[in-house]
Amino acid sequence: MGVEVRTEGIVKTFGSQRIWQDVSLTLPPGEVSALLGPSGTGKSVFLKSLIGLLRPERGSIHIDGTDITTCSDKELYEIRKLFGVLFQDGALFGSMHLFDNVAFPLREHTKKSESEIEKIVMEKLEMTGLLGAERKLPGEISGGMRKRAGLARALVLDPQIILVDEPDSGLDPVRTSYLSQLLIDINAQIDATILIVTHNINLARTVPDNIGMLFRRRLVMFGPREVLLTSDEPVVKQFLNGRMIGPIGMSEEKDEAQMAREQALVDAGHHHGGAEAVEGIIPQMKATPGMPVRQAVQRRKQRVREIMHTLPHAAQAAIQESLDEEGAPVA
């Protein structure tokens, strides 16, 4: 099963610019989480901090109980073996065909024989739907296939934590859905801890078990999907509904006067742009039939039941309805 990832009060700056501050969250082991936020809020910087490529100025990052902000270089090297990372562009070597791209981590970090490597690589290519494409170069395949090849490479060392940076970048909605389904299926098969950084609303609503939201250099909320999808927090509500009305503006923040003007237009019945508000909790994407039961779902629902009494009554009603529907037997 995947391991726990926990940050406590981490702060990151570049020169005089503060990227985010006091970010504290726990990624539950074996669950799929998503970190959302408008462009430029430091989501990718957060991912790089989790694997030790960037170091926060303050706070701690615990990976499976080890604080990577204070551990030795040797310990950090070992901790990084727990991770598989899918970068935005797939980050494939253009001069290597897919087989060698996927085999690269095994050849670099293990002493496995070529026959062992071939078995593992072909298994991961099959898992990501790329059998038959192993001799193609990255430049000969589609963007969606490059993403899947990047994911196959991220999986070859059997990671317990998978980080995915904007999986929808450069992909159309259909291929984004295929990739989302693939991540859910992989979680069902290996129970890895997965963190997806995205600003794709549909992915955020339907894929993760847990959702976090970065805005104005802070983590606004982090918790189970049911809690975020029923939240009255203005930033969360605005983002998950893709609407103009709310604190997020074109230059990230709006002043009070602009927010008041926009609200007045809505009150007067004028069109306000964005998607219509979604009532209730959108069903979560399920693993493909034939896959193992995704254990993360039951763990998350148990946590939700334990905190239900702390939520507003309207949220409790919507969440209870969602839990009842999902628990109902299929006719």
Delineate the domains of the chain, giving CATH numbers in brackets.
Answer: 5-82+159-226 (3.40.50.300), 231-277 (no CATH)
Classify burial at 291, counting beta carbons within 10 Å of its beta carbon; exposed 0-12, middle 13-18, buried 19 or more. Answer: middle
Question: How far is Cα 115 from Cα 98, in angstroms, rounded to an integer?
Answer: 17
Question: How far is Cα 127 from Cα 27, in angstroms, rounded to an integer?
Answer: 25
Question: How far is Cα 161 from Cα 79, in angstroms, rounded to an integer?
Answer: 10
pLDDT in tens, 95-110: 999 999 999 999 988 8
Residue recorded with tokens 């979604």: 278
Question: How far is Cα 15 from Cα 125, in angstroms, rounded to an integer?
Answer: 42
Identify which of 65, 3, 55 has the alpha carbon closest to the alpha carbon of residue 31: 3
What type of residue sits at position 181? Q
Instruction: Output the pLDDT for position 267.
Output: 52
Give the pLDDT means over successive 10-residue stretches in the chain (331 positions): 92 89 95 89 89 94 95 93 84 90 92 94 91 91 88 92 89 86 93 93 93 90 94 85 61 51 51 49 92 94 94 90 66 38
Q: CA geometry: angle at 247 spanning 245 and 251, to 5°? A: 100
CB distance 167 to 144 below 8 Å: no
Instruction: Output the pLDDT for position 260.
Output: 58
Instruction: Output the pLDDT for position 327.
Output: 59
Instruction: Output the pLDDT for position 274.
Output: 46
CB distance 36 to 219 below 8 Å: no
Q: pTM of the full predicted structure?
A: 0.86
Average pLDDT, the chain: 86
Instruction: Output the pLDDT for position 308.
Output: 93
What is the percentage of the chain residues whose pLDDT exceeds 90? Answer: 57
Rg of the chain, C-alpha, whole Å? 21
